[in-house]
Structure 1
Amino acid sequence: MQGSARRRPFPAAAPGSPPPAGPLYPGRHSAVKAEDAFRTSPFHLDLWFYFTLQNWVLDFGRPIAMIIFPLEWFPLNKPSAGDYFHMAYNVITPFLLLKLIERSPRTLPRSMVYLSIITFVMGASIHLVGDSVNHRLLFSGYQHHLSVRENPIIRELRPQTLIDSFELLYYYDEYLGHCMWYIPFFLILFVYFSGCFAPAARRRGMPPAALLLLGPSSLYYWYLVTEGQIFILFIFTFFAMLALVLRQRRRGLALDSNGLFLFCSFLLTLLLIAAWVGWLWNDRTLRKKYPGVIYVPEPWAFYSLHMSNLHPPGGGS
């Protein structure tokens, strides 16, 4: 009985044959991981270009498309052009993030990556609904620089319980949707960044194409952090990246071109945020909406306060 319950040993490989493959052979898996630690990766120009382009067109361009396209084309009771941009973003961005992870020179925790992607898609989809309604309210006179209850068109709603419904919609848009969208997004970028190290002797600087992408990439991250109100998440991610760089430097490792591009993008983003906050530091109206210790105004709140007269409510362009 005991002999039949014993697990049979693996058969020996024939002389000259390649080593056996599969998850049951940990020796081979360990050898791959050892090689991963010293493998370098070329700059992913195609992925970074597509990533930056779709961020600008599909994310930053969403509210702009909603404003410039006539209402006759996209009535208020139908999805706007920006909503279709958001739908495309919710499909293309996870795909590009997965392709970026696939090209990592190191073996990354797949389960965490997949869970992050699933949460990202769910959060971005929640945000799609809330953001669609909130931006369509602009045509009815809604003012983004005011809170929900302070908006004149909301105060006049009857019965008063409708105001609670709009506050719930705002919560799904600005809090729950943003958390489920941005936390996995930055987590995936950090996990990818953790694999962008190579021996200092093999260190490669950024190619000229990466320098050209650095400005647009950083400017988009500035918009993402300020409009999404995720400065704490961003600064935490940046300092985690900085701590990882210092730790790996003591081990004789340095960033490759992809990691350097991502780190410099975040550094330039931090400088842009500081300039933005300094410019609007004495704006009393925005200070009232953002009364906390961390004062980072939203670009669309600035637009609603100072530039909304360029597009009067109810206009089609």
Structure 2
Amino acid sequence: MKQDSAPPQPQEKRRPPDVDLSKPRFHLDLWLSFTVQNWILDVGRPVVTLVLPADWFPLNRPGAAEYLHLLYNITAPLILLKMLGRSPRSLPSSAVHLGIVVVVMATSFQLVADSVTRRLMLIGYQLHLSVRENPVMKSLRPSSLIDAFELLFYFDDALGHLRHIPLFLTLLFFFSGCFCHRKQEETTPPAAWMLLAPNAAYYWYLITEGQTFILFIFTFFAMTATVMHQRRRGLVPDCNGLFMLYSFCAALCLVAVWVSCLWNDAVLRRKHPGLIYVPQPRSVYTLHLHLHLHRQNDHTVGESA
């Protein structure tokens, strides 16, 4: 007699292999260390230069800003490695090593260029002007030394800003692993909302001062495309992914407000020609400082007359 076959078992729905099914948690230690490092060791450098008296440190020796920059050279690769370690995916070790080398090399270039720039500012160098347009450089003898300064600032602009490429690639790679199933979707924790404003403000500083708008916007578009792709698989951003998306959106709004306020500035337009116009905060600072000193001189001359 033919035995009845067992009823077919329902097949378990296949899960994406790159999705962690454990309960998503907000990496508070990672984002807190990332934010504190950026605000103290990156944003804090120009603040320290403005606050501390110039005669506290000899000009031929490193100052407080240089020591902060040295610490940033050490901590930035460690934070990126920590972020990569929290991702459910893994990169080839050669790619990780190459990224760390680029970060260290580029930050070292910026350390030298920023140190020279700070000392030039003490003798009247104006950051809103080009190298050859600066009155300090016009009086430099021999005039061939101007080429040396142009080479220095070229290395700063072309090679020093390479450190942002591994940063944004790491953020994008980390974001690609910040997804969970709809059943696991949770609200953004209070700690994420507390870190949102300083994190977005740092991205604004990174875009404006570092001139990384193209990198930022391409990363943001890639993150948006990743969200659309993962939604078709039934996945949504977890609390870390939402934190990154909200930070990028807020930073983009801050940049839009910043650019709109300085849109009609003719001097900054000469400093930042081209289609993408994102003025640097330090250029805005030296421009307004120069205008303020010029008005004071005119007022003094008028009173003496």
Shorter-chain TM-score: which interval? 0.7 to 0.9
Partner of 1:252: 234
Alignment of 1:141-160 (within 5 A): 141-160=124-143
Structure 1 unpaired stretches of 5+: 1-32, 313-317
Q: CA deviation at 1:90?
A: 1.1
Q: Distance in 2 between matches of 1:301 and 1:260?
A: 33
Moved more, 233-242 or 300-309: 300-309
Partner of 1:58: 41
Q: Secondary structure at the match of 2:236?
A: strand
Structure 2 unpaired stretches of 5+: 1-15, 295-305
CA contact (8 A) 2:19 2:177 kept: no
Q: 1:188 aligns with which of 170, 174, 178?
A: 170
Q: 1:89 to 1:111 in 2, by over 3 A?
A: same
For residues 125-175 of structure 1, the C-alpha deviation after alignment (integer angstroms, 9 at most, x for no partner) is: 111111111122110100000001100101111222101000001011122
Alignment of 1:98-177 (within 5 A): 98-177=81-160
Partner of 2:183: 201
Q: 1:137 to 1:130 in 2, by over 3 A?
A: same
Q: Secondary structure at the match of 2:17?
A: helix
Q: Distance in 2 between matches of 1:127 and 1:35?
A: 37
How many percent of aligned residue pairs carry the same amino acid? 54
Moved more, 245-254 or 141-150: 245-254
Q: 1:81 aligns with which of 55, 60, 64?
A: 64
Q: 1:311 to 1:252 in 2, by over 3 A?
A: farther
Q: CA deviation at 1:281?
A: 0.7
For residues 108-128 of structure 1, the C-alpha deviation after alignment (integer angstroms, 9 at most, x for no partner) is: 444323321221111111111
Q: CA deviation at 1:104?
A: 1.8
Q: Distance in 2 between matches of 1:147 and 1:90?
A: 28
TM superposition outliers: structure 1 runs of 4+ over 6 Å: 309-312
Moved more, 273-282 or 117-126: 117-126
CA contact (8 A) 1:83 1:132 kept: yes
Q: How many residues align?
A: 279
Partner of 2:13: none
Q: Distance in 1 between matches of 2:184 and 2:96?
A: 28
Partner of 2:10: none
Moved more, 40-49 or 185-194: 40-49
For residues 31-83 of structure 1, the C-alpha deviation after alignment (integer angstroms, 9 at most, x for no partner) is: xx937553454101111112111111110110111222222321111112111
CA contact (8 A) 1:66 1:81 kept: yes
Partner of 2:77: 94
- Provide TM-score, normalisation by structure 2: 0.87
Does residue 238 (structure 1) correspond to residue 220 (structure 2)? The answer is yes
CA contact (8 A) 1:36 1:106 kept: no
Q: Distance in 2 between matches of 1:114 and 1:311?
A: 48
Q: 1:35 to 1:58 in 2, by over 3 A?
A: closer
State the one-letter code of the partner of 1:158. Answer: R
Q: 1:265 to 1:110 in 2, by over 3 A?
A: farther
Does residue 301 (structure 1) correspond to residue 283 (structure 2)? The answer is yes
